[in-house]
Amino acid sequence: MATQLKLNSVVDHGVGGDAEAGVFDLIYSFLLNECGQNFYSAIVVNQIGDDLNEIILREGKRIHINIRYPVYEDFESKQFNEKNRIRLDVIHTSLLKIAEYEKKLDPQKLETIRSKIIEQDFKFHFLFGTKSEQGK
């Protein structure tokens, strides 16, 4: 089963929901699968404010986590790498909480994923598939 990660925010100036966060979703989805951390069809990380409760909710093969994480009023104006480091922290912290709660994700492999993202300075090249024309 392939795992897809999605980073959302339900707060103003949040870390998720834009195209830059979508790229982060792609990086994490690829690396989770590459490292054998594909126990869920989807992992949905929601950055929440003080008005909601932190919670981990399992729905079949999907898992959702609401995580309270500081909001930076100037988040949109931060440098690209700084925004990515914040997103990385939100996702990594969320995955560690899920690992502690469900005992499926391996914290060592999650740290390997985090380290790889930092080592590669948030830059990845992916091959999604190839097309072959047979019968010509």
The predicted pLDDT at position 136 comes to 53
**Separation of alpha carbons 128 and 53, rounded Å:** 37
The predicted pLDDT at position 56 comes to 97
Q: What is the pTM of this model?
A: 0.89
Burial 92-115 (b: 16+ CB within 10 A, else e): bebbebbbeeeeebeeebbeebbe
Query: Taking the domains of the chain in order of start, what are their residue ranges?
Result: 4-119
The predicted pLDDT at position 60 comes to 96
Q: How many CB atoms lie within 10 A of CB 39?
A: 16
Per-residue pLDDT of the chain (136 residues; tens, 9 = 90+): 789 999 999 999 999 978 888 888 999 999 999 999 999 999 999 999 988 999 999 999 999 999 999 899 999 999 988 999 999 999 999 999 999 999 999 999 999 999 999 999 888 887 666 666 765 5
Handedness of CA 119, 124, 128, 130 (dihedral sign): negative
Start-end of H helices in 7-79: 19-34
The predicted pLDDT at position 24 comes to 86
**Separation of alpha carbons 64 and 13, rounded Å:** 21
The predicted pLDDT at position 7 comes to 95
Start-end of H helices in the chain: 19-34, 80-102, 107-119
The predicted pLDDT at position 19 comes to 82
Asked if residue 10 lies in contact with residue 65, where contact means CB atoms within 8 angstroms, the answer is no
**Separation of alpha carbons 8 and 103, rounded Å:** 23
The predicted pLDDT at position 97 comes to 98
